[in-house]
Amino acid sequence: MELSFLFQQLGVALGLGLLVGLQRESTASPLAGVRTFPLVTIFGTVCGLLAQAFGGWVIAAGLLALGGMIFIGKLEEGKKGHPDPGLTTEIALLLMFAVGVYLVIGHRAVAIAIGGGVAVLLQFKGQLHGLVARLGENDLKAIMQFALLSLVILPVLPDRAYGPYAVLNPRNIWFMIVLIVGISLGGYIIYKFFGQRAGIVLGGILGGMISSTATTISYAKRTVGMPESAGLTAIVVMIASAIVFVRLQVEIVTVAPAFWSFAAPPLTILLLLLIAASLVLWVKNRSEQNDMPVQENPSELKSALLFGLVYAVVLFMVAAVKEHFGNRGLYLIAGVSGLTDVDAITLSTARLVHENRLSATDGWRVVVVAAMSNLIFKAGIVAFLGHRRLLIQILAFYGIVFTAGVLLLLFWN
């Protein structure tokens, strides 16, 4: 191993140890601070280097020695009458020793990420405790339900295809559930911290993350009794519609990264048009006040299972139509399924493109058709559930975006 590379490893260990030690010193930790943490991290790196020549027992011996010194330090704290009941510093010491070792036997970038993450986690103790204190029982239930979906159920599902078209893979279907619920849950958790205080822009962003259709319904209904809020509602609905195109691109890049390079340009054009429309409405109506409607927990098992069923049905239908009727039939499926749920058709299309069952060129067109269908559906919601003022506010902008979508379908290669 080159001498310069060895010094680089030791330098990184020193820097990470100083970073965490500085944080612990700022909290007046009696056990370890700005000197001890760098020494422990370098000690781990040296143990990792020695292990390459003498075997893994060196690392185990170093870990035991460090554990013994931590135990002695805790005893001394008790004798002085000021024991620290927490174990944060002790765990951090052990973890930084492991980071030092991993710098030698693993990937440097991962070690740096872990060391930096430890410092950040320690620094934001107050904010994290405040976060937990503000979460209610239903919010914790939502998080635990997501953990059930992603960490308990997903790993045990069979990873093989079933059905006549070999597209119904239980693990893949459940992964799509986890992906959609995760995006929605992120918006829901942020919403819980802002709630009724969410501003116009944030209300639209969170609404798009949780469910743009549900957001449109909630806000449109309010304009019937409060016609003066039509301008505000138009902004929120437009922003939520724009976030859908961000959401679709996240889904595509997660499921089929190679497909994203084909789908991103047309989807981004439509996104930019909706952002421009939002800005125009913002300039016109920004003086109004906003109270965000109550949002429902998106990780409820019933909702998650319903989405999984819809996704599986759409995936099967897309494969069947592609097999028997060619690409033209896909656009019909996209138009129908996109009316209420653009996520399912987007994910199923991305999956088929990833598996080379559908060309990327046809794939992005299917997604755009579904997105345009979803815009029509939301315009219908506004027409039937909202005040006429709201319909007037958004109809012209939706018309521009829809026209742009049609032109992209016809002329974009």
Q: Is 195 left (phi over 0), alpha (psi -120 to 50) or beta?
A: left
| 41-50, 126-135, 176-185, 208-217: the lowest-pLDDT one | 126-135
CA distance 103 to 374: 49
pLDDT for res 193: 65
Residue 77: CB atoms within 10 A of its CB come to 14
CA distance 267 to 273: 10
Higher pLDDT, 23 or 263: 263
Co-location of 262 and 298 in the same domain: yes
Co-location of 88 and 46 in the same domain: yes
Q: Yes or no: say if 179 and 185 are a contact pair by the CB < 8 Å rule.
A: no
Q: According to the per-residue pLDDT averaged within each range, which of 123-127, 210-214, 325-329 is highest?
A: 210-214
**Residue 168's beta-bridge partner residues?**
162
pLDDT score of 196 more than 60: no
Residue 302 belongs to domain spanning: 136-411
Place of tokens 């930084």: 96
pLDDT for res 296: 58
Co-location of 76 and 151 in the same domain: no
Band the pLDDT of 294: cuts 50, 70, 90. Answer: low
Band the pLDDT of 334: cuts 50, 70, 90. Answer: confident
Phi, psi (rounded to 5 degrees) for 355 = -90, 10
Alpha helices in 107-199 (DSSP H): 108-123, 125-134, 137-147, 154-156, 170-194
Q: Which pLDDT tens digit goes with each residue over 64-85? A: 888 888 787 767 766 666 655 5
pLDDT score of 359 more than 70: yes
Domain finish residue from 84, 113, 130: 130
pLDDT for res 295: 55
Co-location of 249 and 289 in the same domain: yes
Structure tokens at 348: 């199923």
Co-location of 117 and 152 in the same domain: no
CA distance 367 to 95: 45
pLDDT for res 299: 59
Residue from 229, 238, 279 nearest 389 by CA: 229
Report pTM.
0.67
pLDDT score of 352 more than 80: yes
Structure tokens at 261: 């390079």
pLDDT for res 80: 64
Domain finish residue from 130, 154, 185: 130
Domain finish residue from 130, 156, 171: 130
Co-location of 112 and 173 in the same domain: no
Q: Which pLDDT tens digit goes with each residue over 262-286? A: 999 999 999 999 999 988 888 877 6
Co-location of 162 and 97 in the same domain: no
pLDDT score of 404 more than 90: yes
Co-location of 218 and 97 in the same domain: no
Co-location of 33 and 143 in the same domain: no
CA distance 317 to 160: 19
pLDDT for res 208: 77
Q: How many domains does the chain have?
A: 2
- If you count them, how many residues does the chain have? 413
Q: Which pLDDT tens digit goes with each residue over 226-265? A: 777 788 888 888 998 999 999 999 999 998 999 999 999 9
Q: Which pLDDT tens digit goes with each residue over 123-175? A: 777 666 666 666 667 777 777 877 888 778 888 888 887 877 777 888 888 88
Co-location of 292 and 166 in the same domain: yes
Terminal C-alpha separation, the chain: 51
- Max CA separation in the chain (angstroms): 81
Co-location of 125 and 157 in the same domain: no
Co-location of 168 and 263 in the same domain: yes
142 Cβ neighbours under 8 A, 6+ residues apart: 185, 188, 189, 297, 298, 299, 300
| Angle subtended at Cα 300 by Cα 299 and Cα 302, rounded to the nearest 5 degrees | 130
Three-state DSSP state, 297 = coil
pLDDT for res 270: 95
Q: Which pLDDT tens digit goes with each residue over 1-11? A: 567 777 777 88
Higher pLDDT, 287 or 272: 272
pLDDT for res 79: 67
pLDDT for res 93: 84
